[in-house]
Amino acid sequence: MSAQGRSRGSTAASVDYVGRLIVSSRPGYRPDEVVSLEMVSAAAGVSRAMAREVLQALHQKRLVRLQPRVGATVLHVERWDPFDPDVIRWRLDVAPRFQMRSLTEVRQAIEPAAAYLAAERASADACRDLVALSQQLWEEGNKPEFKEEHTAEGRKCRERYQDIDDQFHRTLLKGSQNEMFHALAGPVALALEFRIKREWEGGHGPRAGTVEIKGFPVEPEQLALWLHRCLAAAVEQGLPTAAESFSRAILFEIKKAPFPPVYVFSLEEALKELDLRALGTESDSLRKAITGTRQHPKELIP
């Protein structure tokens, strides 16, 4: 984008441009280097007044430190605000491997605990919503058009799936009634969005394979769809340990690797607690999927 084109945008657009220069460690924008108003004005094609606003915004995100008579000094990555949505997006765009690893580890730390608490505390509305969303996820994930890579219908189906998945995990965190868990819904949503877009839409491009956590295959794994339905049912039935087991399995299934024996055991124990009548007449397929985790998730299509 030209400087003239950027100047027509908002301050947010200029913050986005300069923030990416810093995250990309471009010359002049590397740690311990000083970024002047003149540099920002020239790079973003904005006035000095707007350049000052840009540096103030980046200071709030802890990408730079403002000092009188010195200017804005670029800070090292360890100093950046790790939960700022813009910082997360920039890092995912520039160097996704480590940012995605951090996001996934955050999810692994909080979501099973949130699932446990939700089964103990979730309101009737949250339980209803989780069950409904898991059913919608199942329906969208099993539509034939989901795997239509180059059609408008396929794209819309995947977008609906992404939106439902986002709502499901937000509802789970909110259902825990722990305000700190709920506050992390944004980073969780960004991790879900990145995994879908980069691995589905960009999976055939030059950046394919740069992320350790795999994304959507040609169609969602049946095991993943089942685990979401089981998690919702466990929360609705007030089964904390089962809910925690299903949540942990969802996060491990992303890796597309054989389940550790302890995970298989916990899933089988969780199934014993669950009233499978809530899942309809398809429970035999569910049992087959869970039993199949002894081998490999890709072998689990009923």
The rounded distance, in Å, linking the Cα atoms of 96 and 276 is 39
Number of domains the chain contains: 2
Residue 192: inside a domain? yes
What is the extent of the structural domain holding 33? 3-79
Q: What is the pTM of this model?
A: 0.80
Asked which of 12-26, 165-179, 194-208 is least confident by mean pLDDT, the reply is 194-208
Same domain assignment for residues 63 and 146: no
Same domain assignment for residues 69 and 115: no
CATH code of the domain containing 15: 1.10.10.10
Q: Would the pLDDT of 200 be above 60?
A: no
pLDDT: which is higher, 284 or 152: 152
Q: Would the pLDDT of 224 be above 70?
A: yes
Same domain assignment for residues 130 and 20: no
Residue 248: inside a domain? yes
User: Of 152, 145, 291, 155, which Cα lies nearest the Cα of 226?
Assistant: 291
The rounded distance, in Å, linking the Cα atoms of 183 and 194 is 19
The rounded distance, in Å, linking the Cα atoms of 39 and 45 is 10
Same domain assignment for residues 18 and 164: no
The rounded distance, in Å, linking the Cα atoms of 235 and 172 is 9
What residues contact 298, with CB distance under 8 A and at least 6 apart? Answer: 221, 256
Same domain assignment for residues 70 and 110: no
Looking at 79, 106, 132, the residue that finishes a domain is 79
What residues contact 22, with CB distance under 8 A and at least 6 apart? Answer: 29, 35, 58, 63, 64, 74
Same domain assignment for residues 72 and 158: no
Same domain assignment for residues 119 and 247: yes
Same domain assignment for residues 132 and 264: yes
Same domain assignment for residues 128 and 213: yes
Q: Would the pLDDT of 50 be above 70?
A: yes
